[in-house]
Amino acid sequence: MNRFPEACVERTVEWVDTDASGHQHNSAILRWVEAAEAELFRSLELPDYFPSAPRVQQVINYKAKLWFGQRITATVKISALGRSSLTLAFEVTSDGGEVAAYGTVTTVHVPQGTTSAQPWPDHLIRAVGARQES
**pLDDT at 79 > cutoff 60:** yes
Is CATH 3.10.129.10 what the domain over 6-128 is classified as, yes or no? Answer: yes
110-131 pLDDT, tens digit each: 999 999 999 999 999 999 985 4
Spell out the domain ranges in the chain: 6-128
Q: What single-letter amino acid sits at 130? A: A
13-72 pLDDT, tens digit each: 999 999 988 899 999 999 999 999 999 999 999 999 999 999 999 999 999 999 999 999
How many alpha carbons fall within 13 Å on the CB side of residue 14? 7
pLDDT of 132: 41
* Residue of higher predicted confidence among 21 and 9: 9
Measured CA to CA, the distance from residue 9 to residue 39 in angstroms comes to: 8
- Does the CA dihedral 102-106-111-116 come out positive or negative? negative
pLDDT of 130: 56
Beta bridge partners of 89: 77, 104
pLDDT of 125: 93
